[in-house]
């Protein structure tokens, strides 16, 4: 069995580089809006689109599939001329909204 060599992970900091970085960061400020942002979601949107446009985004979820399902998804994406994410959202959210939407309030 061969010897395992470990990579050196210690790094020396250049104090001048740190100071330059801090000075550049201090100069690069972002203006804060004086009025809070208001949701611009149109009330005439379908409920699943309104829900997507309001509230904060949460963590994503993996969508697992086997090779055959992957080929089916790839074919559907090509036929619909959409991205996988767009296609899955267009199919999933309307169904979930219809089935459970009344029990889960929209975020404001």
| pTM value > 0.95 | no
- Please, are residues 92 and 36 in contact by the beta-carbon 8 Å criterion? no
How much is the pLDDT for 69?
95
Residues 6 or more apart whose Cβ sits within 8 Å of residue 45? 53
What's the pLDDT score for residue 4? 72
Say what the pLDDT of residue 108 is: 59
Residue 42 is predicted with a pLDDT of: 72
Per-residue pLDDT of the chain (108 residues; tens, 9 = 90+): 667 766 666 677 788 888 888 888 777 766 555 555 555 667 678 887 787 777 777 788 888 999 999 999 999 999 999 999 999 999 999 999 999 988 988 875
């Amino acid at each position: 069995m061969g010897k395992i060599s470990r990579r050196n992970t210690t790094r020396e900091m250049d104090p001048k580089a740190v100071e330059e970085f801090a000075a550049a960061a201090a100069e690069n400020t972002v203006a804060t809006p004086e009025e809070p942002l208001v949701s611009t979601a149109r009330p005439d949107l379908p409920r699943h689109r309104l829900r997507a446009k309001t509230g904060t985004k949460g963590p994503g979820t993996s969508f697992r599939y086997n090779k055959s399902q992957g080929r089916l998804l790839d074919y559907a994406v090509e036929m619909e001329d959409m991205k996988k994410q767009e296609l899955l959202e267009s199919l999933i959210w309307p169904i979930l909204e219809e089935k459970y939407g009344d029990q889960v309030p929209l975020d404001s």
